[in-house]
Every structure is written in C-alpha cells, then in structure tokens.
Amino acid sequence: MRRKFSFFAGRTEPQGSKLNLRREQPNGFTLMELLIVMAIIAILMLIAIPTVGTLKKNADELSAKKSVQTIQQAEMQYATTYPANGYACDLKSLGGDPSAGAPSPAAAQLLQADLTSGYKSGYIFAVSNCTKVTVNGTDRNTSYTVTAVPQTVGKTGSLGFCSDDGGIIKYDPAGGTNCSQIVQ
C-alpha cells in the first residue's frame, strides 16, 4: 500500500484518509468568471449591432444603384435589338428564361430573374412612364423611367433611385421617387 507523508506527529496516513487536508483543483469556471465573460460579450454585441445594420443598409443602397445601371444597360440593348419596339416598358420583357427558347421582345433574356421580379436586396424596382409613339401601325416606346425605392425606408435603405432614357441616375433623400439630386 502506498503511503503519503503527513505533518501530523510524524505519522503517515493512507492517501484516501480523512486527515488528508489537500484540496483538489476544481475543473471548469466559476459562476463569477462566466458572468464576467457574458457581460463582455453583451457589451461587444451592443456596439456591433448598429454597425452591422448600417453596413447592410449601405450595401442594399449600393446594390440598388448598380441594379438601376444594369436595367439602363438592358434597356439600351433591348432598344438596339428590337428597334421597332423601342424600349421595354416592364422588367418582365427584359428578363426571361433561357431554357424557354430564343429571346423575343416579350422575353429578351437581358436581366436575371431576381431583378425582373421587381424585388432585390430590400428595394422595389419598376419601369414606368413609357411614352408610346405609333409608327406605321406599330407602337414604339421612346422613353422610360426606372425607379428603385426601399421596401422599408430607413431600414432597407434611405435613398430612392431613379433614372430615365437619358442615362443619369438621380436619388431622392426621402426614399421616394422624387429624384432630384445626381448620384456622384
């Protein structure tokens, strides 16, 4: 049997004895240590959450600007490809499924499906204000307006974006379609 040295009157006691005063170290963390770590994590989250929301909103606004540019480019390509029709007066005409067959004026296959649905990255997109001219019995659209407004102003975006056949993108600081300031 193995014996352990003890300071009690020169006696040695067995290792499992009641007189053995040595405590074993506990495994894990104390409750106080866990509470301190949780408090630090909560403080960091309170600092980070508003920053993440602002970053998401800015990303949605940038996506909306780029999407308006993409729609403008698709409109120019549509007018070049289908000169008898002029510009497309809705997003569905600029989209279309490539597996459904060859492009046509009703489905030109120039835009991705997420943009032709009218909803992307917290913004609502629309093509409107088309001016039609009848030439030789065929209606031809000679102008259009593209708008992108936030689904929830202040949350998914703060700015509304507009453009027309002139190609200049403007924005509305109130998040609507009254675009008066040019995007830099």
- 3-class secondary structure for the chain? CCEEECCCCCCEEECCCCCCCCCCCCCCCCHHHHHHHHHHHHHHHHHHHHHHHHHHHHHHHHHHHHHHHHHHHHHHHHHHHCCCCECCCCHHHHCCCHHHCCCECCECCCCCHHHHCCEECCEEEEEEEEEEEEECCEEEEEEEEEEEEECCECCCECCEEEEECCCCCEEECCCCCCCCEECC
In a domain, 94, yes or no: yes
State yes or no: pLDDT of 173 exceeds 60: yes
Residue 2 forms part of a structural domain: no
Model confidence at 59: pLDDT above 80: yes
Each residue's pLDDT tens digit, 23-47: 666 678 899 999 999 999 999 988 8
In a domain, 88, yes or no: yes
Per-residue pLDDT tens digits for 99-118? 888 999 999 999 999 999 99
What pLDDT, on a 0 to 100 scale, did the predictor assign at position 15?
58
* pLDDT at residue 176, as a whole number: 93
Domain count for the chain: 1
Q: What pLDDT was estimated at residue 7? A: 52
- For residues 169-180, give the mean pLDDT: 94
Q: What is the pLDDT of residue 19?
A: 56
Instruction: Kindly state whether residue 15 falls inside one of the protein's structural domains.
Output: no
How much is the pLDDT for 23? 67
Q: Is residue 16 part of a domain?
A: no
Please tell me the predicted confidence (pLDDT) of residue 26.
Answer: 66
42 or 17, higher pLDDT: 42
- What pLDDT score does 76 carry? 95
Q: In this structure, is residue 83 part of a structural domain?
A: yes
Given a cut of 90, whether residue 153 has pLDDT beyond it is yes
Given pLDDT bands bounded at 50, 70 and 90, which one contains residue 8?
low
Domain annotation covers residue 22: no
Expressed as residue numbers, the domain containing 48 is 31-182
81 is a domain residue: yes
